[in-house]
Amino acid sequence: MLDSSTEQVPSQGTKVAHAEEERHARPASGIAAFIPKGIGRVDDPTDALRQLITSPDLSFLMEAHDGLSAAIARKAGFAGLWASGLSISASLGYRDANEASWTDVVEVVSRMVDASGLPILVDGDSGFGNFNNARLLAAKLLQRGAAGVCLEDKGFPKMNSFVGDRHPLADIDEFSGRLKAVKDTTGHDFILVARTEALIAGYGLEEALLRAEAYAAAGADAILIHSRKSLPDEILAFTDRWQNKLPVVIVPTKYYKTPVAAYRSAGISTVIWANHAMRAAVAGMRQICARIIAEESVAGIESDVATLDEVFRLLGYDELAAAEERYLPKHG
């Protein structure tokens, strides 16, 4: 963990009301001194993520898949990020089937940490192998400034939960070993979320509860329960039976029409908007590319894209200009 002061990253809602002012007032830490003050690392990302997940208020994590999308999410006001395996894979030109390596993921997350300064929960898929791969992944993510990792109870390689019907689950004891290995390696310095795919694989509520109990015993800090149904019924049935033995995290990609009030009533801890920045980028780039090739000009699209000045502001070019004035020799 980085040496830090006691200052904490604000949580959701009213707790982020003065986030922009505080970030500009805070000096950059030594390890990230070259990062603009409006970006930079959080003082204690793990503590910040723990506060979000254990808060009595419903928290939200926004998907990001590179430094730019991470910076945009922070600018929008999100207090934490989800480093999506699907989105990172897609941005690298891979399918979400463990075609991107764990080192690919670690490198991307490192850029997201520096570009946003937000606590990041990383989609670690199934851990990229057995207990040894999982603990190595977690250790490297911790070194690079991530706040936590989420592991799902599948084998390696895994397939995206919304693709096809072949989603074999890992043996409970073997997967629990992966969780224990991660916790023994990272201890209290790293958040571990255990994700069960029991509902995705069609095994039903009882299997999901059985696995959640085992993963809690193995040291998980929270349980992510996943569903591919268009209604949240099986998620809400799980939370009703689970009774918040550990915080519950959900990913409402398929049951997106459900009002968040239902999640608050169910005592759900955290909602992950899991792939929407990537999908927005796909839709936006597709539209602009189609117009440019059809119109053979960029004149008509200029008002529909970000200005270069906006990009420069987002990534703190003003800090670099100020640093040049301070550090470069003066001539003439």
User: Is 114 considered catalytic here?
Assistant: no
Is residue 18 a part of any domain in this protein?
no
User: Do 153 and 246 have their domain in common?
Assistant: yes
Among 256, 277, 298, which residue terminates a domain? 277
User: Do 216 and 320 have their domain in common?
Assistant: no
User: Do 76 and 199 have their domain in common?
Assistant: yes
Q: How is residue 310 written in tokens?
A: 């906006």
Q: How is residue 26 written in tokens?
A: 């805070």
Is residue 305 a part of any domain in this protein?
yes
User: Do 201 and 93 have their domain in common?
Assistant: yes
Q: Per-residue DSSP letters for 100-114?
A: S-HHHHHHHHHHHHH
User: Do 147 and 120 have their domain in common?
Assistant: yes
User: Do 238 and 89 have their domain in common?
Assistant: yes
Which residues have a Cβ under 8 Å from the Cβ of 250 and sit 6 or more positions away?
224, 225, 226, 235, 263, 268, 270, 271, 272
User: Do 95 and 213 have their domain in common?
Assistant: yes
pLDDT digits (tens, 9 = 90+) for 214-266: 999 999 999 999 999 999 999 999 999 999 999 999 999 999 999 999 999 99
Q: Tell me, what's the pLDDT at 166? A: 80
Q: Is the pLDDT of residue 133 over 90?
A: yes
Is residue 22 a part of any domain in this protein?
no
Q: Is the pLDDT of residue 30 over 60?
A: no
Is residue 246 a part of any domain in this protein?
yes
User: Do 293 and 241 have their domain in common?
Assistant: no
User: Do 240 and 295 have their domain in common?
Assistant: no
Is residue 25 a part of any domain in this protein?
no
User: Do 210 and 320 have their domain in common?
Assistant: no
Under DSSP, the state recorded for 169 is B
User: Do 231 and 288 have their domain in common?
Assistant: no
pLDDT digits (tens, 9 = 90+) for 138-185: 999 999 999 999 999 998 999 899 898 888 999 999 999 999 999 999
* 160 neighbors 274 (Cβ within 8 angstroms): no
Which residues have a Cβ under 8 Å from the Cβ of 114 and sit 6 or more positions away?
32, 35, 39, 40, 41, 67, 145
Among 260, 277, 294, which residue terminates a domain? 277
User: Do 237 and 304 have their domain in common?
Assistant: no
* 266 neighbors 240 (Cβ within 8 angstroms): yes
Q: Count other Cβ atoms within 10 Å, centred on residue 308.
A: 9
Domain span including residue 132: 43-277
Is residue 23 a part of any domain in this protein?
no
State the total domains in the chain: 2
Q: What predicted TM-score, i.e. pTM, was given to this entire model?
A: 0.86
Place of tokens 């991307």: 108
The catalytic position among 43, 47, 66, 96 is 96
Q: Is the pLDDT of residue 3 over 80?
A: no
Question: What span, in angstroms and rounded, lies between the C-alpha atoms of 104 and 99?
Answer: 10
State which amino acid sits at residue 298.
V
pLDDT digits (tens, 9 = 90+) for 88-103: 999 999 999 999 999 9
User: What letters, b where the CB count within 10 A reaches 16 and e where it falls short, cover 67-83?
Assistant: bbbbbbbbeeebbbbbb
